[in-house]
Chain A
Amino acid sequence: MQIVKENPNVIKLAVEVLKHGGLVVFPTETTYGIAADATNHKAIGKLNSYKKRPAGKPYSVAVTDENMATKYVNLNNTARNIYQEFLPGPVTIISKGKNKLAKGVESETGTLGIRISSYPLVSQIVKKLGVPVTATSANASYMKRPYKIGDILDNISVKQKSLINLIIDAGELPHNEPSTVIDTTIDDPVILRQGGIKFKDKNGILSRSGENTENLAKELFQKYEGYLGKRPIIFALTGEMGTGKTRFTKGLGKVLSIKDEIVSPTFNLVLEYGKLTHIDTWRLQNTEKLNTLGFLKMIEDKNIVIAIEWADRFIKEIKDQREHALIVWVKIKYGKGVNERLISWEVI
């Protein structure tokens, strides 16, 4: 591992390292990021080991401009408008990918997050390399946001250190929020992570298919998964019969790499799939307590993800656990079109 102070010659060095499948820690306008050649399978494998990422979590990539982006993603009008208004800058824009990058960069559903950094060094490296690099933050998953090199090195193992080939040190960066993440693949663009750039605060989308609903579940999970390990995550699902509460949970199953088919737990009340527990309170009598299903015991596990269908039947019992669990309240309503659903959410 080589640590170099930021200087004009470092670009050439970084490009050499990246070309050989190496990992480079670099400064951006948000935090320190870690770059791998996004077209190189081995480099992405190495990055996965470094980040200790759960399978199924994609990486966003840095490109130089909108033109370069169109080689890797299909931009719709919504995306183009946001590009023009906010890029370069601390915004990650998710579009439908063209499957031209190494496996694991795009999401399992084929979407890809694009960044165009306003930090000149990043674009210079990408321009010289000619292909996108990953633009994920340089911390291992769930660790402290890295604003200085010490933040990274103090929190990783010897093995992880050995995976980094080059660190470009620009001193301590201003403590900016991470990038704002916007998904433009769903008709109403949806903000998946609120960073420094504020959009109109709107946490609802129109889902046009069961697949859309599954994707939203995956993205919501990824938005909050940083809490896992510290607190369990509860997705409290409400909505009429047939709106897609089980479908939403299927999305959670996918992002958690659960191989079993996620089916309706109406009959059994509780179905367990490793890290994911799926509860259906529909058959449960109102005067009954959710805890008769072992709810409190379940949330002692800080790594558990729980989806509760018909959560509105036990609002108080769930809300009472706010201090012990991250609770995402998800409301699904029938839309006008046959397959349309209005889905909104809030952390309570």
Chain B
Amino acid sequence: MKILSIDTSCDETSAAVTENTKVISNIIWSQASQHANFGGVMPSLAQRLHKERIDWVINKALGRKYKYLKNIDAIAVTQGPGLAIALEVGISKAKELAIKYNKPLIPVNHIEGHLLSALANNKTLINFPALGLVVSGGNTQLIYIEELGKYKILAETVDDALGEALDKGARLLGLGYPGGSILEKFARLGNPKKYILPTPLVDDKIKNRFSYSGLKTAMFRLIEKEKPLTKEKICNLAASYQEVAFKHVENVLLYQINQSSNQPINCLLLGGGVANNNLLRSKLRKHLASYKIALLIPYTKKLCGDNAAMVGVTAYLKTKNGELKTIINIRDLDRKPNLKI
């Protein structure tokens, strides 16, 4: 099944063409550089930029071969969660095309897109139950996947998302925003044991939540104490902060794996922008190996951040059994900024 998918949930305007789980094109036009010029996000600008770029992005994704959508079987679009006025742009465009070309329209949950992004271009057969870890700027969720479409949230954040915590840590260190990936670079040069920061929620007996507000506060106080900052200090602080932020994820993950020992987990699907972090990947890989759980990560870094291909793949996986029950009356489709998985 060939799907044209659209995602405009936040700062990226993206369109993709997928055939089943294969990614044919995945065009992402990022506004990050535009926003960075202003030192922050501008929703009105975001909306304007989405509107300006969406046709170009869709045409580019379709390429010459798929022009006029003749060979496309369905259109998929991110319904939420995300920034309301940004979501609106993608949704109205998807509706317009679906009506004009008489194609079914499949609404997709953005988090589910991240959750299943590791299945794009994946040729090996996945056995369930599996775990999913979605770590991004807006979400931190550990999800039990009984089968496709049947999810249970094992743990999620009660305050900041992991990506947000890393971005804010970078900001505290004066590395700009969003600076999670810059933080990683500095951390690589530092000693993660140099500073002691409190691992969040170590006293939780039942580890079913993430929290980063306390770590953020501790980091603020530590930086105040260490000022003035030298490059060496920044590297060590970045390394120590990142280490503890991930330690928290590891603790919760290991606890939950042990909890589900009567139903062996086959694999863990990693998704979301923080899935690009190499330290996190290697830490997870090490832990999972001891449980003989395979780690599946998106085949390219492009699939980790916000993108439309994951939306197309998810739309296919959820409707492939012929039951296009997620397809609703096109005109009724509306954005859902607070959509949950």
Contacts and interface: CB of A to CB of B under 8 A. Distances in A.
Interface of A: 240-244, 246-247, 261, 263-264, 266-272, 282-289, 292-294, 334, 338
Determine which residue in A241, A264, A289 has the highest number of CB atoms from chain B within 10 A of its CB, and name it.
Answer: A264
Contacts, number: 93
A285 B42 contact: yes
A292 B43 contact: yes
Interface stretch (B78-86, B113-121, B261-269, B321-329): B78-86
B260 interface: no
Contacts of A284: 40-43
Contacts of A246: 159-160, 213
Contacts of A267: 10, 137-138, 161, 163-164
Given A242-B217, A261-B156, A272 B338 contact: yes
Contacts of B81: 268
A271 B84 CA distance: 10
B216 interface: yes
Interface string B37-51: 011111111000000
B83 A264 contact: no
Contacts of B164: 264, 266-267
Contacts of B45: 285, 288
Contact of B42 (A261, A263, A266, A288): A288
Determine which residue in A246, A263, A289, A294 has the highest number of CB atoms from chain B within 10 A of its CB, and name it.
Answer: A263
Given A263-B158, A263-B160, A268-B81, A283 B177 contact: yes
Contacts of B44: 288-289, 292
3 cross-chain pairs, A with B, having the tightest CB-CB distances, nearest first: A242-B217, A285-B40, A267-B138
A286 B41 CA distance: 9
- Looking at chain A's contact residues, the main secondary structure is loop
15 contacts: A241-B168, A244-B213, A246-B159, A264-B160, A266-B164, A267-B138, A267-B161, A268-B81, A269-B83, A271-B338, A272-B338, A282-B40, A288-B42, A288-B44, A334-B220
Contacts of A289: 44
Contacts of A240: 220
Interface in B67-114: 81-85
B271 to A, nearest CB: 16
A263 B40 contact: no
Interface string B157-177: 111110110001001100001
Contacts of B161: 263-264, 267
Contacts of B156: 261
Contact of B40 (A242, A270, A288): A288
A269 B159 CA distance: 14
Nearest to B46: A292
Contacts of A263: 157-161
Contacts of A272: 337-338
Nearest to A338: B221
Contact of A261 (B83, B158, B177, B217): B158
A242 B38 contact: no
A241 B38 CA distance: 20
B83 A268 contact: yes
Contacts of B82: 268
A304 to B, nearest CB: 16
B32 to A, nearest CB: 12
Contacts of B217: 242-243
A270 B10 contact: no
B285 interface: no
A242 B216 contact: yes
B35 interface: yes
A325 to B, nearest CB: 21
Determine which residue in A244, A288, A338 has the highest number of CB atoms from chain B within 10 A of its CB, and name it.
Answer: A288
A210 to B, nearest CB: 8
A285 B138 contact: no
A288 B219 CA distance: 29
A271 B83 CA distance: 9
B226 to A, nearest CB: 16
Nearest to B160: A264
Given A246-B213, A263-B157, A270-B84, A241 B41 contact: no
A292 B158 contact: no
A217 to B, nearest CB: 15
A241 B138 contact: no
Given A264-B161, A294-B84, A294-B85, 13 more contacts: A242-B217, A242-B220, A246-B213, A263-B157, A266-B168, A268-B82, A271-B337, A272-B338, A284-B43, A285-B35, A288-B44, A292-B85, A334-B220
Nearest to A293: B43
Nearest to B198: A338
A268 B172 contact: no
Contacts of B177: 283
Contacts of B168: 241, 266
A286 B217 CA distance: 24
